[in-house]
């Protein structure tokens, strides 16, 4: 039970030039969808709302351009691994997606 | 079962499955479904999502193979959005909780997102609106039914349902198995309606939201005679309409028997019923329906095609085809009537604020002399193949008529210089369709060979009603006493000056006005070929004395309602069994 409610949070800065546009959003969702945890993402820089990290439409609403800081939250049995993988993806510049 | 009322474009009954054309940029109106329909609506939604994703997957494979993966990647996000469970969840919730129709729910949710993108500061993200619109359209098309590209390959007759059709799209229907038409938009005298009428297939327009109320595959009855459509009829209604469909075929056969007989009144007064045509091949159709010639050949429809203006040779061939189709009977060719809602608006960089009062018809021709002369050359060359007359649309002043006529003479000289012999005495007339021309009719009579009254524009300008605007089109009434008086004055002036006068607006083909127009002394009527048999039947059952009396009485009323009621009563006395 306690595992299922595990939470993890990380803040990462967008480093790639194009920011969180269509293709990076799809990379993000690909990775997020491999995990059980619920993922929510917030654009700290713009003080925006929290969106579903597995929704292609909502992720696009983050308006996350280069330099913005994202707060990635995961909630579920694999929360820590989820956040780890997503943060790595963002920091790598979405593998030059 | 659902009954919707609109405006009829062509009488008759058609029954078939609906094909709904893609919803372009218009709002899907709010519609709820009964609670027991929710499951159906949700499965309609689910299969629309599935189909949309499938289409995009296939497209991505194709793009990847032909243009590389950069091109294919453009649609990656589209697929992502269609697979977005949260998005689909909120659309489904709207159907389930608010009992909203699938199309409305999908459109509402997608438009909320479009609004969000619109507020963004990053121009690249604002561009995302186009993608969302694209996804919305694809989804709606898959919810509402078939796509337009399939129309040419229909295997069985269908009922075409759409928000609106452009004149070009309508023209293309001629070659399809579309049995009946239902449109949200439209007024009885719009160019789309005119074209639909000439197709002769039952149609109802101005239904406001039929394209969102009917889904692809629904069984639909078009009742053009009673201006309504019935979606998903019950068994009893369907049986009734199947019988009416048969009865309609019988009536058509009965009227068909009249085709070899002249339109002569009981007391031997000969009337000429000609056809209005848009396409050269219709000339033959009109003659087959018993018409006495082509009273109005609307040549602008040659121009309404994706390739743009036709060459002189293309025009020449079309005119010759129409003239040959008329088989020795007179053919009146009207020079192109472009402008307003046709052709020129799409091509001008600055859209006119008031195109009906703008650069249209003869004004457009005189400002585009090169294009005009190409047409005149083609008409003049074709004229040697038959009994041809030429007329100009929307003549509003003597100067305009003189200038147009001068252009014809210049063109004749040009042709002769290059060794082409043409008929110099081709009769040149005018369409009388503005109040100014009606007031100056006596002056015009001194210069024109003939006058053809175009009632559609004449009524619109006389009554200051945009015939294409559904909100005021009810004020567009040929029965308005002012219209009747102007018609009387024009016919009188022409009779006194011995100038040939005919009538070629929609009014000429409406049996309701036949007795009145006949009574004014008009001898030539031009109308959609489909209307000829019924008007002929009516004329053959009355005397001139009777018609003159009706016209005189009709002119004595003060309101259009009185006029309409009176004319309906008089017409019913002659044709008790026909719906007028």
pLDDT at B93: 96
B372 and B487 together in one domain: yes
- A29 vs B: CB within 8 A: yes
In a domain, residue B27? The reply is no
Residue among B443, B415, B444 at smallest CA distance from B429: B444
B283 and B378 together in one domain: yes
Range of the domain at B417: 261-574
B309 and B436 together in one domain: yes
pLDDT at B132: 87
Q: Annotated catalytic, A95?
A: no
In this predicted model, what pLDDT tens digit does every residue of B61-117 receive, in sequence order? 877 777 667 667 778 889 999 999 999 999 999 999 999 999 889 989 998 898 888
B544 and B415 together in one domain: yes
Task: Name the active-site residue from A6, A19, A21, A48.
Answer: A21
In this predicted model, what pLDDT tens digit does every residue of B385-403 receive, in sequence order? 999 999 999 999 999 999 9
Question: Last residue of a domain, which of B114, B144, B174?
Answer: B144
CATH number of the domain that B86 lies in?
A: 1.10.274.10
pLDDT at B147: 46
B165 and B197 together in one domain: yes
Residue from the list B73, B86, B131 with its beta carbon closest to the beta carbon of A58: B86
> Which of B568 and B251 is assigned the larger pLDDT?
B568
In this structure, are residues B146 and B19 in contact, taking their beta carbons and an 8 Å threshold?
yes
Averaged pLDDT of chain B: 87
Residue from the list A54, A56, A65 with its beta carbon closest to the beta carbon of B81: A56
Top mean pLDDT of B95-99, B176-180, B303-307 is at B95-99
Q: Among residues 54-93 of chain B, which lie with CB inside 8 Å of chain A? A: 73, 76-77, 80-81, 83-87
Residue among B539, B529, B541 at smallest CA distance from B504: B529
Residues of chain A found within 8 Å of residue B122, distances taken between Cβ atoms: 19, 63, 65
pLDDT at B492: 97
CB contact under 8 A, B113 and A57: yes
In a domain, residue B28? The reply is no
CATH number of the domain that B165 lies in?
A: 3.50.30.10
Residues of chain A found within 8 Å of residue B86, distances taken between Cβ atoms: 52, 54-55, 57-58
Structure pTM? 0.62
pLDDT at B296: 96
Residue B360 pLDDT greater than 50, yes or no: yes
ipTM reported for the complex surpasses 0.85: yes
> Which of B106 and B354 is assigned the larger pLDDT?
B106
B128 and B203 together in one domain: no
CATH number of the domain that B383 lies in?
A: 3.20.20.60
Q: What ranges do the domains of chain A cover? A: 7-96
In a domain, residue B243? The reply is yes
* Burial of B347: CB neighbours in 10 Å, binned 0-12, 13-18, 19+: exposed
Which secondary-structure segment (H or E) carries B525?
strand B524-527
Q: For B134-148, B185-199, B262-276, B467-481, which range has the lowest pLDDT when averaged over its residues? A: B185-199
In this predicted model, what pLDDT tens digit does every residue of B253-299 receive, in sequence order? 777 788 889 999 999 999 999 999 888 878 887 888 789 999 999 99
Output the 3-class SS for B126-153: HCHHHHHHHHHHHHHHHHHCCCHHHHHH
Per-residue confidence at B340, pLDDT binned at 50, 70, 90?
low
Per-residue confidence at B480, pLDDT binned at 50, 70, 90?
very high
| Count: domains in chain B | 3
pLDDT at B303: 81
Residues of chain B found within 8 Å of residue A22, distances taken between Cβ atoms: 76-77, 128, 131
Residue A15 pLDDT greater than 70, yes or no: yes
Task: Give catalytic residue positions of B.
Answer: 191, 504
Question: Last residue of a domain, which of B111, B144, B177?
Answer: B144
In a domain, residue B91? The reply is yes
Residue among B302, B171, B210, B201 at smallest CA distance from B3: B210
Q: Any idea which fold A7-96 has?
A: 3.30.1340
B278 and B174 together in one domain: no
Per-residue confidence at A84, pLDDT binned at 50, 70, 90?
very high
Residues of chain B found within 8 Å of residue A61, distances taken between Cβ atoms: 113, 116-117
Question: Last residue of a domain, which of B121, B144, B167?
Answer: B144
What is the sign, positive or negative, of the torsion defined by CA atoms of B45, B47, B49, B51?
Answer: negative
B378 and B442 together in one domain: yes
**Separation CA A87–CA B79 (nearest Å):** 24
B244 and B270 together in one domain: no
Residue among B193, B107, B168, B223 at smallest CA distance from B528: B193
Residue B186 pLDDT greater than 90, yes or no: no
pLDDT at B577: 67
B267 and B397 together in one domain: yes
């Amino acid at each position: 039970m306690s595992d299922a409610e595990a939470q993890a949070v990380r803040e990462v800065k967008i480093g790639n030039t194009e920011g969180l546009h269509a293709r990076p959003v799809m990379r993000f969702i690909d990775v997020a969808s491999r995990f059980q945890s619920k993922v929510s993402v917030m654009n700290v820089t713009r003080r925006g709302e929290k969106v579903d990290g597995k929704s292609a439409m909502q992720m696009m609403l983050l308006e996350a351009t280069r330099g913005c800081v994202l707060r990635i939250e995961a909630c579920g049995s694999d929360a820590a691994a989820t956040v780890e993988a997503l943060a790595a993806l963002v920091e790598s510049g979405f593998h030059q997606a | 079962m659902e009954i919707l009322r609109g405006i009829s474009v062509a009488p008759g009954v058609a029954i078939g499955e609906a094909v709904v054309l893609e919803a372009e940029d218009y709002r899907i109106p709010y519609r709820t479904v009964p609670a027991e329909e929710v499951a159906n609506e949700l499965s309609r939604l689910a299969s629309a999502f599935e189909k949309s994703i499938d289409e995009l997957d296939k497209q991505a494979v194709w793009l990847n193979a032909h243009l590389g993966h950069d091109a294919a990647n453009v649609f990656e996000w589209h697929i992502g959005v269609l697979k977005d469970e949260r998005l689909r969840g909120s659309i489904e919730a709207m159907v389930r909780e608010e009992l909203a129709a699938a199309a409305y729910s999908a459109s509402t949710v997608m438009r909320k997102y479009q609004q969000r993108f619109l507020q963004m500061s990053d121009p690249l993200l604002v561009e995302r609106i186009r993608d969302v619109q694209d996804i919305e359209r694809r989804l709606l098309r898959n919810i509402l039914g078939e796509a337009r590209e399939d129309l040419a390959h229909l295997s069985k007759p269908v009922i075409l349902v759409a928000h609106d059709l452009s004149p070009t799209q309508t023209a293309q229907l001629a070659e399809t198995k579309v049995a009946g038409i239902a449109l949200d938009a439209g007024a009885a005298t719009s160019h789309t309606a005119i074209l639909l009428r000439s197709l002769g297939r039952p149609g109802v327009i101005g239904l406001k939201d039929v394209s969102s109320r009917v889904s692809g595959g629904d069984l639909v009855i078009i009742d053009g005679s009673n201006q309504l459509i019935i979606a998903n009829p019950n068994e009893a209604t369907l049986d009734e309409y199947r019988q009416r469909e048969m009865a309609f075929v019988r009536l058509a056969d009965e009227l068909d028997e009249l085709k070899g007989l002249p339109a002569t009144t009981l007391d031997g007064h000969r009337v000429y019923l000609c056809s209005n045509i848009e396409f050269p091949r219709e000339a033959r159709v009109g003659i087959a329906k018993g018409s006495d010639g082509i009273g109005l050949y609307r040549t602008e429809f040659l121009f309404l095609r994706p390739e743009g203006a036709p060459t002189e040779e293309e025009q020449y061939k079309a005119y010759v085809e129409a003239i040959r189709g008329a088989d020795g009977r007179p053919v009146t060719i009207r020079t192109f009537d472009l402008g307003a809602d046709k052709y020129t608006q799409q091509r001008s960089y600055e859209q006119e604020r008031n195109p009906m009062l703008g650069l249209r018809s003869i004004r457009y021709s005189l400002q585009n002399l090169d294009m005009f002369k190409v047409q005149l050359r083609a008409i003049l060359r074709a004229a040697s193949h038959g009994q041809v007359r030429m007329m100009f649309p929307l003549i509003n002043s003597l100067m305009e008529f003189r200038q147009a006529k001068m252009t014809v003479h210049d063109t004749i000289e040009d042709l002769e210089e290059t060794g082409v012999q043409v008929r110099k005495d081709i009769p040149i007339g005018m369409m009388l369709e503005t109040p100014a021309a009606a007031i100056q009719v006596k002056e015009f009579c001194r210069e024109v060979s003939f006058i053809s009254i175009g009632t559609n524009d004449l009524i619109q300008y006389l009554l200051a009603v945009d015939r294409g605007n559904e909100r005021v089109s009810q004020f567009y009434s040929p029965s308005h006493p002012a219209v009747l008086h102007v018609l009387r004055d024009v016919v009188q002036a022409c009779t006194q000056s011995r100038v040939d006068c005919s009538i070629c607006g929609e009014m000429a083909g409406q049996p309701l006005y036949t007795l009145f127009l006949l009574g004014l002394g008009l001898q030539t009527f031009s109308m959609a070929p489909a209307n000829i048999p019924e008007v002929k039947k009516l004329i053959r059952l009355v005397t001139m004395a009777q018609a003159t009396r009706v016209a005189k009485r009709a002119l004595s009323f003060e309101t259009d309602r009185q006029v309409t009621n009176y004319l309906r009563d008089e017409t019913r006395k002659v044709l008790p069994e026909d719906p007028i």
